[in-house]
Structures are given as C-alpha cells and as structure tokens.
Amino acid sequence: MLFIFFPIISVVVQSFHVEHEQVIRSVETCDLFGCKQSTTIDQEATAALRAESPLGQFAGLTTYLDRNHLAVDEVGATWNRTDSWRDFGSQMLNLPFYKAMGFTLTYTFVVTPLVIILGFVIAVAVNSATRVLRGPLIFFSLLPMMITPLVGALILFWMVDARGIIGTTLQYLAGDPNLSVKASTPLMWIMLMVYGVWHSAPFAFIVYYAGLQTVSQDTLEAARVDGASRWLQIRHVIIPHLLPLTTFIALMQLMDNFRVFEPIVSFAANAHATSLSWAIFNDLGGETRQLSSAAATSVLTIIGVAILLSPVLVRTWRDFDRK
C-alpha cells in the first residue's frame, strides 16, 4: 500500500522540501551575516557591506548587536547610566527593537485575556437567545473576524478619525475639542488593542459556542435539582467543561497577536507603536531594502515564537506518543 502511494507521498514530501529549504533559507540569509563571531564591530563598515552586496558578505553578529536590534552597547551604557528600573525601562523603549518588542508583548498579553472573556460572554448570551435569532447573530459575529485585517482596521481608523463618528464622540465625552487619537501614544495603543479584541473575539466566541453545544444537559439538570443558581451552573459546570477549549484559544490568540501587523499599517500608528512584524516590513519596504536587518529581526521574531510555542510543541509530542 505504501509502495503504491510512494509517488504521491514523495510529491508531498518534495513540496515540503521546497518550503523547508526556503525556511532554512531565511535563517541562512542572516546566518551569512550572523553565524560567526566577528571581531571587527564597526557600524559604518556594516552599512557599507550591506550596501555593496546584499548577500554573501560576512558581518558576524554585528547586525544583531547594532542599535536597531539587540543594541547591546546601548543597553550596557544605559544600564550603567541609570539607577532605577523605571528609568532603565523608559530608556530601553527608545531603542527600535525593544520598542517593537514592548508593544508586541503588551499587545499580546492584554488582548488575549480580553478576547477570551468577551468571547465567552457572547457565547453564553447567544446560546441563551432564541433559536431563530441565532443564525443572524452568528453571521454578524463572524464579520469582524473574516474581514481582511487591514480593511477592518481601516474602517475603525476612519471612524476614530478626529472628524469621524467615534472620534467626535470621544471629543464630546472628554470635553476636549482638540483630542485626537492619532496624536497620542497611549490612546493609539488602546485603539490598537480595542481593534485587536474586536477582530479576534468572534473566534473565541465561535469555539466557545461550539463547546456550549456539547455541555451535557444531564449534568446541568442535576445541578439545577441540587439548587444551583444560574451563576453557579456557569461557574461549576460550564466553565470546567470549556477549560480545554480555553487553552486552545489562548494558544491561537497568543500566536496571532504576536504577529500583529496590519492594524499598525492601516492606523498609520508607526510613530507611536511598532510591532516586530512591522519592523521587518519597514526594513524590507524602505528605499534601501535592508535585507540583513530584516532578516535579523525575523530570526529574533522566530526565536520569540519558538519560546511561546515550546510548551505546546512538547505537549503535542506527548499526545502523539501516547497514541
């Protein structure tokens, strides 16, 4: 059987080989710059090298260590100069890489729990709605998720514009006619996160909703007979039932939010908040395509993803072993 199917499998494997080579390629490109320790750490020389040959030159770890990425020198200097953590932190956020990292992490860890909570609330609410209403409810709930992220963010962005509807309302609420979301960093961050929650909550909702369909009615019945109130039923029957789903959603969301990118483009928020993906995009898309810089950020991002993912991978491995 396996022999008959060998051609197909090999086609598949080959199709995979292309990809994997490409993935390795992405590591390689930076490896060419970053695989060996070089003793000449000279930023100008690095820039010159980059300019004259985009590939195949050898710059050691310079790209990684320069100001745009790990910025070891600057961090060291800052560390020596400042005495309090708070001060150190604010200095760090002026370095591009740490700025991007800071936003990406904040975004990830703020949006994920909010999405889970909101999704759960909506799922419970929709589940108790009458059957006729559920179809349209689900339809509208899906919209924010299915929409192209860039486009969805744009729509919100226009509404938030100082001349748009939400922007005007905010100005009215704050009593400040000059209030502009675009001009203030904290407001921009909040907007991006609001967008993130808006965009991803439907996913949590759908998964929870599907989970709610499988809650055993007998258990609920039993809980009711024992006099559990509505809240107690949710607390002790439904939430434990949905817990495995929560880990799944949390994982998906962590991965998704870690690569936040499109909203920053459409909110034109790069002055206030940059994410790692955006940093790569910027390097690639500028007048001078800084491939090595982008590659270095890519590798750092991949490392970040790997750290996030490692617990999952270990668990999947165990699951498969058990099978």
Binding to another protein in span 213-252, by CB under 8 A: 221, 224-225, 230, 248, 252
Q: How far is the CB of 173 from another protein (least distance, A)?
A: 13
Q: How far is the CB of 122 from another protein (least distance, A)?
A: 5
User: Binding segment for another protein among 59-67, 72-80, 90-98, 203-211 (CB under 8 A)?
Assistant: 203-211
Chain positions 256 to 285 lying near another protein, rule: CB under 8 A, are 256, 258-259, 261-262, 265-266, 268, 276-277, 280-281, 283-285
d(CA 290, CA 51): 9
| 53 lies in the site for another protein, by CB under 8 A | no
d(CA 108, CA 114): 10
Chain positions 85 to 114 lying near another protein, rule: CB under 8 A, are none
User: Binding segment for another protein among 41-49, 80-88, 183-191, 204-212 (CB under 8 A)?
Assistant: 204-212
Q: Check: CB of residue 140 under 8 Å from CB of residue 122.
A: no
Residue 156-185 contact track with another protein, rule CB under 8 A, x = bound: x-xx-x-xxx--xx----------------
Identified binder of another protein from the candidate list 5, 58, 79, 109, rule CB under 8 A: 5
In this complex, which beta carbon is closest to another protein, that of residue 137 or of residue 187?
137
Q: Check: CB of residue 201 under 8 Å from CB of residue 115.
A: yes
In this complex, which beta carbon is closest to another protein, that of residue 77 or of residue 129?
129
Q: List, as one string, the DSSP characters of 282-308.
A: HHHHSSS--HHHHHHHHHHHHHHHHHH
Identified binder of another protein from the candidate list 35, 48, 210, 271, rule CB under 8 A: 210
In this complex, which beta carbon is closest to another protein, that of residue 86 or of residue 322?
322
In this complex, which beta carbon is closest to another protein, that of residue 78 or of residue 191?
191
Q: Check: CB of residue 207 under 8 Å from CB of residue 248.
A: yes
In this complex, which beta carbon is closest to another protein, that of residue 9 or of residue 45?
9
Q: How far is the CB of 78 from another protein (least distance, A)?
A: 28
The tokens describing 107, both together, are 């975004």
- Helices and strands in the chain, H and E counts: 16, 0
Chain positions 9 to 48 lying near another protein, rule: CB under 8 A, are 9, 11-12, 15-16, 18-19, 22-23, 25-29
d(CA 307, CA 300): 11
d(CA 100, CA 117): 26
- Amino acid occupying residue 102: G
Q: How far is the CB of 277 from another protein (least distance, A)?
A: 4
User: Considering CB under 8 A, how many residues would be counted as binding another protein?
Assistant: 100
In this complex, which beta carbon is closest to another protein, that of residue 78 or of residue 197?
197
| 154 lies in the site for another protein, by CB under 8 A | yes
d(CA 158, CA 165): 8
Q: Check: CB of residue 192 under 8 Å from CB of residue 269.
A: yes
Q: Check: CB of residue 124 under 8 Å from CB of residue 116.
A: no
d(CA 111, CA 242): 20
The Cα-based distances of 114 to 109, 119, 199, 236, 262 in angstroms read: 9, 8, 12, 21, 20
